[in-house]
Structure 1
Amino acid sequence: MAIATVNPATGQTLRTFEPYTAAAVEQRLARAEQTFAQYRLTDFARRGELMHRAAELLDADQETIARLMTTEMGKPLTAARAEAAKCAKAMRWYADRAPALLADEHPAPTDVTDAGASRALVRYRPLGVVLAVMPWNFPLWQVIRFAAPALMAGNVGLLKHASNVPQTALYLEDLFRGAGFPDGCFQTLLIPSATVSDVLRDPRVAAATLTGSEGAGRSVAAVAGDEVKKTVLELGGSDPFVVLPSANVAAAARTAVTARVQNNGQSCIAAKRFIVHEQVYEEFRAAFVQRMAALRIGDPLQESTEIGPLATAQGREDLGELVADALDLGARAECQVAVPAGLGEGWWYPPTVLSGITEQMRIHHEEAFGPVATLYRAESLDHAVELANDSPFGLSSNVWTTEPAEQERFVRDIQAGGIFFNGMTASHPALPFGGVRRSGYGRELSGHGIREFCNATTVWIA
């Protein structure tokens, strides 16, 4: 894939970039190593001052960066503004809380005296240069939720962003430099995916984090494993959205639409499989389908637009193949909204609801990355749990029930990194984010996220 800004609403190439040469990459690696040697010695007060300044600059740039994100990957402008605001909030959260999150831990003296220590502690020290391989769907947020904790911990970052959001990637480098961070603290690498393994194998790179497809995660994990380097992987998801009889069905249906089509349906934590108890199935189905069919498709730069184009032509093709496979094998299209005429040659895909899903259909096992929802009828609570877990993924989940016993059942048995009751999945700086199974491993955000790229060092004093 070329490194270029291609407007997904029109298919027009707006800017192209030459990949960095090997010499340019070497220069940035050397700068990162040199910067880390000094930056790791700064205190939390100085790092927090810089991070707060970066957040202020981001707030000032909100409209500009929001329009850039929309132009590069097609998300509605209102969502792009919200993404920028969320990033600034997370930056401030880590700037204020990093000292407490990484404070020395002191075991009780009585716990260590039998080992001959008069005193012992655990100190969190930065690992070094962290390579971040990031996706296009949340081109600002995915990066900031790595960069804010990593930089506050004393690490430095190298960003290999998706090739279709190069201007957002360069903006991020400028943002941190403009805030006063040393030049080597955060650098963007405009390189093709094929050269990521070379960067990761470089001895100056200490660790890597990746958000993206299962295939990309396997590739990075294989190289990192061979080099014995720490990784955090946040991969795909096919999150269940379970509705049980005690739920407020009208509220569940309203939320379900937002949960499915957020970011034009291109979100790993978007609800994708809607599992509804047979007692309330028809009520939910009717309300959900009606709302999906009423979504406003249009120019993502228009304030009224609810659904914009998919980010890439390949993404539209892949999604279309999943839907065609399901329909060929007997699925029913509850709705498939017609794309309005006159929108241009962009990569539009209609909001779609499918029912009658079987195990033979690819969409039952694969992630549908776009505004396509699948409906399942659950015969009982046990059946709902079984359907929810019938996926190779395990990122997050949504369960609608007011019964405490049912909530406890899902907390005990659901195979996912998160469970959101009577609402939709969201990421927040205070809560750990990540998955299990083929959705990856490790955690971002919260104290768990900032400690992922730290050396938990045991200090023993006789």
Structure 2
Amino acid sequence: MTETIKLKSPIDGSIYAERPVATDQAVNAAVERAKAAQAAWAQTSIAERGKYLLAFLEALLAMNDEIVPELAWQMGRPTRYGGEKGGVEERTRYMVALAEKALAPYVPEDRPGFRRYLKKEPLGVVFVIAPWNYPYLTAVNSIVPALMAGNAVILKHAAQTLLVGERFAKAFERAGLPKGVFQNIVLNHAQTEKLLGSGKIDHVNFTGSVAGGRAIEKAAAGTFMTLGLELGGKDPAYVLPDVKLDHAVANLVDGAFYNSGQCCCGIERVYVHEKVYDEFVEGFIAETKNYRVGNPLDQATTMGPMAQARFADFIREQKAEALRKGATAHIGMKVENDREGSPYLAPEVLTNVDHQMSVMREESFGPIVGIMKVRNDEEAIALMNDSPYGLTASIWTTDTDRAAAIGDRIETGTVFMNRCDYVDPGLVWTGVKETGKGGAMSVVGYENLTRPKSYHLRETI
């Protein structure tokens, strides 16, 4: 009997899509096609690659009216937000435009009688394992620069967003991309591990859990492939006394609860200076109560269900533990179907929290946030660094120099000031500690998808 991957919709629990798992023979054939196609693709000029990628973008954008409700059915994001069209277009156009400069050879100081330069060669076959929470944006982060750099790409998308991989494949087909340069395949965990250990993959890019990252490192051990791993996060915010309070409240509430809190760089803990603590908390609670939780296909819904019921149950457990240890819950929103075993979950704001509670230490990845009062920068910095993760941290102040100085001391991949939850394609997207290794976007993203090759040519003898 053929094994299949089933996509259970968080809207109503129905099976929204089901696809057969690729056979081992089909996987091997896909890898061979990728290797054969990559050799010719690497000889294609960067400008020509860019034309294909921009045609792909236009084809994908043309599908947006179909993609938006598909996303709601697959992972629960409300249709009112219009999908991921804006970010996909921004990142794709930026990385295509950057490619000529980022991939240009480096020429060191002149040495008479010698021609010396360093080229950036494609790695070969890049395996992208994409997540469900931002299924287009996170995939684009790797796929676009990998192809622009001359690599072939094999995509395995998350089971929760199976149809996204098919959309990518269709867009590349409409763009006329040479066959084999991009392929979407459906794999189970065992096949994924086998492919990683086969020695036929040159680079893997994975966005997901810490446990998933460890499993990938283990599966790839001994192959010497390069790894790009974006794993867990527990992103903090620090609100200083000179903050523009209304701006901070509105943006931090959105940063905590957009996409039902299922954001890699979502705000999960907030530290507020004692001078503005009471006013900030009051505003934060009031803003949170404006959310309307419900069916994501309803235009009035501002927060849909979480992607899976087990994710919502984990948030319920974190909240219950925090309350047992003395935390105070402030929202108490009544939401239909908000019960154990359901993906529908109301947002929650907790105060009287501390770092003995899971909600302030372990990744939540859901609509819950803890707010702590702090006395000064020293206390805030210590608390922000008291985490096994380090993806982003945001600082809310009118003093840029102070924000930069605080940022220098925070263990994180990105420092924001007066904004959060955003990927700037001109800056590297990376993390420290258990958040992972490698980096996407910017010139650094291209460096991670190429290998240096030196040319030392003696012109005279």
- 1:461 alignment counterpart: 457
1:58 aligns with 2:60: yes
TM-score, normalization by structure 2:
0.95
Q: Is the 8 A contact 1:397 1:416 kept in 2?
A: yes
Contact 2:293 2:345 in 1 (8 A): no
How far apart, in 2, do the equivalents of 1:84 and 1:375 lie?
Answer: 32
**1:251-400 equivalences in 2 (<5 Å):** 251-340=247-336, 347-400=343-396
Look up the match of 2:397.
401
- Where in structure 1 do 4 or more consecutive aligned residues deviate above 3 Å? 340-343
Q: Structure 1 residue aligned with 2:187, among 185, 191, 202?
A: 191
**Secondary structure of 2:159's partner?**
coil
Offset of residue 304 of structure 1:
2.6
Q: Secondary structure at the match of 1:154?
A: coil
Matched position secondary structure for 1:301: coil
What SS does structure 2 have at the residue aligned with 1:399?
strand
Map of 1:24 onto structure 2: 26
CA contact (8 A) 1:293 1:337 kept: yes
**Quick check: 1:432 aligned with 2:428?**
yes
Distance (whole Å) between structure 2 residues aligned to residue 327 and residue 107 of structure 1 = 61
Q: CA deviation at 1:200?
A: 1.0
Check the 8 A contact 1:79/1:263 in 2, yes or no: no
Classify 1:137/1:80 alpha carbon distance in 2 versus 1 (closer, same or farther; 3 Å): farther
Q: Does 1:171 align with 2:173?
A: no
State the number of aligned residues.
455
CA deviations 1:338-368 (Å, max 9, x no partner) are 214699x951011001112223222222011
The correspondence for 2:230, drawn from 223, 229, 234, is 234
How far is 1:135 from its partner?
0.8
Match of 1:75 among 74, 77, 83: 77
1:158-212 residue CA offsets vs partner (Å, 9 max, x unmatched): 1111111111111111211221112211111211123211111222211111100
The answer on whether the counterparts of 1:277 and 1:377 sit within 8 Å (CA) in structure 2 is yes
* Matched residue, 1:215: 211
Deviations 1:94-142 (A, max 9, x none): 2222111101111121xx56xxx62211111101001111110011111
Counterpart amino acid of 1:96?
Answer: A
Q: Map of 1:196-207 to 2, 5 A cutoff?
A: 196-207=192-203
Whether the aligned pair in 2 keeps the contact of 1:120 and 1:459 (CA below 8 Å) is yes
In the alignment, the residues of structure 1 paired with residue 384 and residue 38 of structure 2 have an alpha-carbon distance, to the nearest angstrom, of 44
Scaled by the length of structure 1, the TM-score of the pair is: 0.95
**Residues 399-448 of structure 1: CA deviation (Å, up to 9, x unaligned):** 00122442132121011000110112301222211111111111101111
Shift in CA distance, 256/87, structure 1 to aligned 2, threshold 3 Å: same
How far apart are residue 336 of structure 1 and its match?
3.1
CA RMSD of aligned residues (A): 1.8
> Distance in 2 between the 1:106 and 1:37 partners?
25
Q: Distance in 2 between matches of 1:306 and 1:457?
A: 50
Letter in 2 for 1:276: V
- How far apart in 1 are the matches of 2:290 and 2:86? 28
Question: 2:173, 2:199 → 1: CA distance?
Answer: 25
Aligned to 1:459, the other structure's residue is in SS state: strand
Contact 1:265 1:370 in 2 (8 A): yes
Partner of 1:87 in structure 2?
A: 88
- What is the one-letter code of the residue matched to 2:411? Q
Answer with 318-327 or 234-243: which moved more.
318-327
Which residue in 1 is equivalent to 2:98?
97
Distance 1:376 1:422 in 2: 19
How has the CA–CA distance of structure 1 residues 193 and 84 changed in structure 2, closer, same or farther, with 3 Å as cutoff? farther
Relative distance call for 1:298 and 1:199 in structure 2 (3 A) is: same
* Structure-1 separation of matches of 2:30 and 2:310: 31
CA contact (8 A) 1:234 1:441 kept: yes
Q: Which amino acid aligns with 1:101?
A: A
List gaps (5 residues or longer) in structure 2.
Answer: none
Partner residue, 1:441: 437
Distance 1:207 1:342, change over 3 A: closer
CA contact 2:396–2:417 (8 Å) conserved in 1: yes
User: How far did residue 269 of structure 1 move?
Assistant: 0.2
What percentage of aligned pairs have identical amino acids?
30
